[in-house]
Structure 1
Amino acid sequence: MKHGFIKVGTATPHIRVADCDYNTQQIIAQMKEAAAQGVKLLVFPELCITGYTCGDLFLQNTLLAECLNAIEDVCNASAGMDMLTIAGAPVLHDGKLFNTAIVFYNGVILGVVPKTNLPNYSEFYEQRHFSEPNGFTDTITLFGQEIPFGAKQLFVCSELPEFCLGVEICEDIWVPAPPSQVLALAGATVIANLSASDETIGKDNYRRALVSGQSARLLCGYLYADAGDGESSTDMVFAGHNLIAENGIILKESRLFQNGLITTELDVGRLSYDRRRMTSFPFSNGGCQKVFFSMPPKETTLTRPVDRHPFVPSARFDRNSRSEAILLMQSQGLKTRLEHSKSKTVVVGISGGLDSSLALLVAARAMDMLGRPHSDIVAVTMPCFGTTKRTRSNAEQLCMVLGVNFKCVDITESVKQHFADIGHDIDNHDVVYENAQARIRTLVLMDLANQTDGIVLGTGDLSELALGWATYNGDHMSMYAVNASVPKTLIRHIVRFAADTAEDEQTKQVLYDILDTPVSPELLPAKDDKITQETEQLVGPYELHDFFLYYVVRFGFSPSKVFRLAAYAFNGDKPDSSDDESGYDRETILKWLRVFYTRFFAQQFKRSCLPDGPKIGSVTLSPRSDWRMPSDASVALWLKELDTLK
């Protein structure tokens, strides 16, 4: 439960229709299996204690009496398990029979939730046996307990209030206004659905979309437990299609026609943050009653997928479609800016690196959209002390194959003159030495833009903005910044996509070589024409910083939670992680996380005055839209928490 992680599971037991004793044994066996795995919330299917397909047997006193005994057995079995268990059973209340979900915890029944919407069409005829609830919460007496009875109940963990559970049953999610809508608006971050959804061709896809969509709309975790093998096959078959979703993402899914248990972890802290952030997600009690339970906090072992590169889709097809979409968005933004400003040219500084190459590709696409020649793009390479033949050659070749207007402006003498003007020793390779080059390059670009009646295209990316890895009033400044909300890890994939899909071999080869070139500002003198200043050796690996950026900005996670996720994702929690070349040990992760927070706070002043640029993804640092932070905010609280970590 630490950091808001809750281990959850859905289980489909093998049952025998109307054999409550057998079904109870199967349910208790799966409860024990789940509890042994540390599950804190376990959901079983609809009417699993009796079986969903009992038909008119539901009206038999013998079945209902034995069902009560089974409910008591499940309740007793839950004692000492430290796990919420929800199982479906028919229950008599005020002389009427209800299709209910019973919430068990540590030897007591917390509540009984009746099904709100009873299907009575096609193969379903639930209204033949069951009654609809009256919409109010009252009490029912079971085994000497006075227990809340009603659909509008919220089960809240006293130690972790963000863990707030609501329950609905099967058809409830298929209707236009599901009960889960009311429950979520009243505070439920987790919805359990006990279902007996028979299988027909294509229904699994619809069910999957329904569950993921509902979890997205309600910003919640959604557990869907489905009836499976053992239900009557007289007119239907049941596949046991269990699903666990979180805010639109299916975290875990069972195979069809395979009974059993699936588990994962929900992050209720993440869900609560999103609800706070989205002020259009209102609070409305809706007449819901809260039932509190005490669950001692324990460390939750993570098994859920945590992607090392959260900005980059893992599947190749998704990466390619994402890359194409981003290129289109960037180009559309630039096209609109060029039309509005009536600019005759786009001036872009080309270094032979990833960022400037992507900006040049975007500029070419924008000109294609406008029906204008690529010669309206003025690409400028500005060699100086650290420029290598490799990057200069790549810059020239890319400009040539794209057919842009290429210029080479060697700024070496200008920088030397500038050093002489301000009295700076050229052998002193300090920040003045580096930043003077960046600022003179920007001066050249701005003046060329004035000369050609154009605008300067910014090339800096989101990762650099987060770290402040830009020279103030140097590469920090432009007239439109197309890469401003694209992180470095994603830029690499976009350029690779451009290379893979290029129509001519020369374009492919130059882009592939750019991809293989170390990331560097090339501001310090080269040695034997080799890059001596590699960015990731100075500020840390971009894949780590992009990971930190995503969880710090998008979800507001604490330093300890970001560290925990990074250690998990990059194998830092494994003893042999140092043997994994693509991983990082905990010490390394903590080192660069400290660098991230320190630089992120210290460099906000650069982000407070950024040029315009299109928003591409859910994380952006524009001071005009997504990120408003004072430039003099203190990092002390965040570093203090980091000091407690090992």
Structure 2
Amino acid sequence: MGHLVTLATCSLNQWALDFEGNTARIIESIRKAKEAGATLRVGPELEITGYGCLDHFLEGDTFLHSWEMLARIIQDPVCQDMLVDVGMPVRHRNVRYNCRVIFYNKKILLIRPKMWLANDGNYREMRYFTPWQRPREIENYYLERIVGDITGQYTVPFGDAIISTRDTCLGLETCEELFTPDGPHIPYGLAGVEIISNSSGSHHELRKLDTRVNLITQATRLSGGIYLYANQQGCDGDRLYYDGCCMIIINGELVAQGSQFSLNDVEVVTATLDIEEVRSYRCAPSRGLQANQANKQAPYTRLEVDFSLSRREGDAEPSLGPSDPFKPRYHAPEEEIALGPACWLWDYLRRCGSAGYFVPLSGGIDSCATAVIVYSMCREVIKGIEQENQEVITDVRRVCGEPEGSEWLPKTPQEVCNRIFHTCYMGTENSSKETRERAKILAKDIGAYHVDLNMDTVVKALIDLFTFVTNFAPRFKVHGGTTAENASLQNVQARLRMVLSYMFAQLLPTVRQHEGGGGLLVLGSANVDESLRGYLTKYDCSSADLNPIGSISKVDLKKFIAWAVDAFDLPILSDFLNATPTAELEPITSTYVQSDEADMGVTYAELSVFGRLRKIAKLGPWSTYEKLLHLWGNEYSPREIYEKTRHFFHYYAINRHKMTVLTPSYHAEQYSPEDHRHDLRQYLYPKFNWAYKKMEENVKLWESRGWTEGRAQKKGLKTE
């Protein structure tokens, strides 16, 4: 039978600063793990605060409330008789650390600070935290009284140590430490650690999951061991979507995997494993020699706990055995586009109090993709309802404006769409019948509430006003106008669409007598390549509240739409694929039809290459040119490559200012040009309920002591 142990890891939909909500989800995950027979539960990184607090990690309140919530968790009856690993920020000797707190039966065993911090791309952990740079060392942490009164401890170990139970040994990694060349799992394994947990806050990017899986399987395939990977899930209040997919792996074999995209707030996965398999796997003499050499260094402190993770002989049912390995489950990139932004949009909508979404539907592929992603969101909501997910059921009734106590439930994605999704075709004399018809059919097929209008009178009114004031009538280029006139006349149309979008978004719920109150959130539909090139008008209809496709390339969007034709049974999408991308802001003549790629001077496929070389490969103009000589040398001459490179960097530079006001975009590609810096705080907030409760309790305390007036009056001082 060996030494069978049941272990649990989880994905939690935490929300930055939602202290009580986050704590409730943590306790629920521990309850589920316990019900499954687990003796160890591992949770995501910084799960008490939520990972995305950003500059709120600089505030003392964040640390205070974290300890208050940990006190709730530690003393909860559910959280007893098992080893629990919780993530939270900790201040030690006036230094802020990203920590894991491991406790058992109201006793803290170790506070383990993160040793290698994520500090590139979307991550700026060095802005908030200091890494623990003393491997294999611990010191005393003087415990906060609110927790010490529960645990009976004055000090607890703080630093890099391992937990030794009666039957095995546990080491801890945190997120980035898995991605480093010399991760802690290597010395841990050589020191005899058999179980390694990893609390993570890893966001979704297209095609990224296989990187995580490969790193974990390779780490355990080389040194053996059991690896528990926990991850944040959901929006968390900012641009990133944390995609869950918690996993358990033993000796390079996956034995448990959670969902990558889910509307569940709490997802726990468990596996039963035989520790003896780890010991057998580690029998190679070369490994033994390396372990012997490694342990000549300062040894890890082993913190002992009088508890066994494995089942006693005779306790396990005869039919109980180790979980079977299986191959990892991956979504195709097209599915990732369908699911990632959809789950992000639902998280945002259910938490922000708005009545739904509004999209200016132009009949082009970008706004089409945005609309289809919202439809995908509605499909996921219906799946949640069919699975009897009570959180989804409660949320959909509230978001759709149903009165309290209503038993209404939608049965199709179109029903949900019709309640919360609004589209509008804003045509002008420069619009074509084809785009108008495509927009109308798509809206009908997905169930959206659609408005079709012409805005020529509004456009003409502005141009007439300008002409009246200046005695100058601007003309399009095809009518003999200058480049400046041509751009101005296009921008008037584009910016008016933004103004109209917000008017309709604010008033359509009133028109439709939506009971829930609140307006609609306007969704943008500029793809990452347009932003990279600056091919958009500042404060036009690309200006919105959110942009689900803002970090997705045109190439990937077209693949997504081609996939959705059959996957979502939307034949009209084929027409969008075959249409020439155009802004439709200039007059159509017998010899001229405006084209995006002609206007930009590069194709969307070429823009995607420039974006990857600029950001991911970190190449400047010269190095980009050299690289493209190899990539494009068979297709273009060196001069053509030079012209394209110069053209791209010229427009990238002069349009960079547009990125400072770019609509917040769902993050999906590493080469996103979005500007997001300086005061780093999320833009979707909970209601600060816990802080308000503390204030109210404090007010009551002072009132109970007779302090009901101002300080000066209380002291009998003159207040005139």
Question: TM (normalized to structure 2)?
Answer: 0.41
Q: Based on CA coordinates, which of the two structures has the bigger radius of gyration? A: 1
Structure scoring higher RCO (CA < 8 A, sep ≥ 6) equals 2
